[in-house]
C-alpha cells in the first residue's frame, strides 16, 4: 500500500528508497489504566491540533519523520520530549517569517530539553555523591568503634 504523509502540504511518500519513516496518529489507550488513558488522550489531541486538519484521521493516516526533531516521535511516557508530538514543517509555516519564528521556537524548545536532561543528570550525580559521603562517614565510625572495642580502650 502506498503511504503518504497526512500533514497538509507535505509531499513525502513512502517509496522504499528514501529514508522517511511514517508514524501512525496515536490512538487513545483505554485498557492500560487511567494515567495511560489520559496521557494518550492528551497526546492524540496535541497531534491533531499540530496537524490542524478539518477531517478526522483514519487508522491509515500517518505522519512522516520530517515533522520530528529527531526524525521520530518519542515514547508516550516522555511527556517533556519535544518529539512527543510533531513540531516541524506543519501547515502554518508557509511564509518565511513564520518559518523563521517557528525555527527559533524549536531551537528554544530543544535547548530547554537539553537543559532539563543536564539538570537531571547533575541531580543524580549529587545524590550519588551524598550517599557515598554518608556511607563513608558511617563506615569510618564503625571501624573506629570496632578497633576501640578490640583493643580494649574505653570510648
Ligand atoms: Zn510529512
Whole-number Å distance, alpha carbon 10 to ligand 1 midpoint, is 5
For the chain, the domains span 1-91, 94-155
> 12 is written with which cell numbers?
513525502
Q: Is the pLDDT of residue 129 over 90?
A: no
Question: Which residue would you say has higher pLDDT here, 134 or 119?
Answer: 119
Whole-number Å distance, alpha carbon 114 to ligand 1 midpoint, is 25
Q: What is the mean pLDDT of the chain?
A: 84
Q: How far is it, in rounded angstroms, from Cα 147 to Cα 155?
A: 11
Whole-number Å distance, alpha carbon 60 to ligand 1 midpoint, is 14
pTM for the model stands at 0.59
Instruction: Tell me the pLDDT band of 92, cut-offs 50, 70 and 90.
Output: low
Whole-number Å distance, alpha carbon 74 to ligand 1 midpoint, is 17
Instruction: Tell me the pLDDT band of 31, cut-offs 50, 70 and 90.
Output: very high
Whole-number Å distance, alpha carbon 65 to ligand 1 midpoint, is 7
Please say whether the beta carbons of 57 and 50 come within 8 A: no
Amino acid at each position: 500500500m502506498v503511504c503518504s504523509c497526512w500533514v497538509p502540504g507535505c509531499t513525502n511518500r513512502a517509496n522504499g528508497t528514501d529514508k522517511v519513516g511514517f508514524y501512525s496518529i496515536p490512538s487513545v489507550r483505554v485498557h492500560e489504566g487511567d494515567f495511560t488513558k489520559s496521557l494518550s488522550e492528551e497526546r492524540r489531541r496535541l497531534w491533531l491540533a499540530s496537524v490542524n486538519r478539518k477531517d478526522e484521521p483514519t487508522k491509515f493516516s500517518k505522519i512522516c519523520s520530517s515533522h520530528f526533531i529527531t526524525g521520530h516521535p518519542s515514547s508516550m511516557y516522555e511527556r517533556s520530549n519535544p518529539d512527543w508530538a510533531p513540531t516541524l514543517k506543519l501547515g502554518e509555516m508557509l511564509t518565511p517569517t513564520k518559518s523563521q519564528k517557528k525555527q527559533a521556537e524549536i531551537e528554544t524548545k530543544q535547548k530547554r530539553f537539553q537543559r532539563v536532561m543536564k539538570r537531571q543528570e547533575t541531580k543524580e550525580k549529587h545524590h550519588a555523591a551524598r550517599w557515598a559521603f554518608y556511607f563513608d562517614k558511617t563506615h569510618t565510625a564503625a571501624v573506629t568503634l570496632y578497633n576501640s572495642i578490640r583493643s580494649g580502650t574505653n570510648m
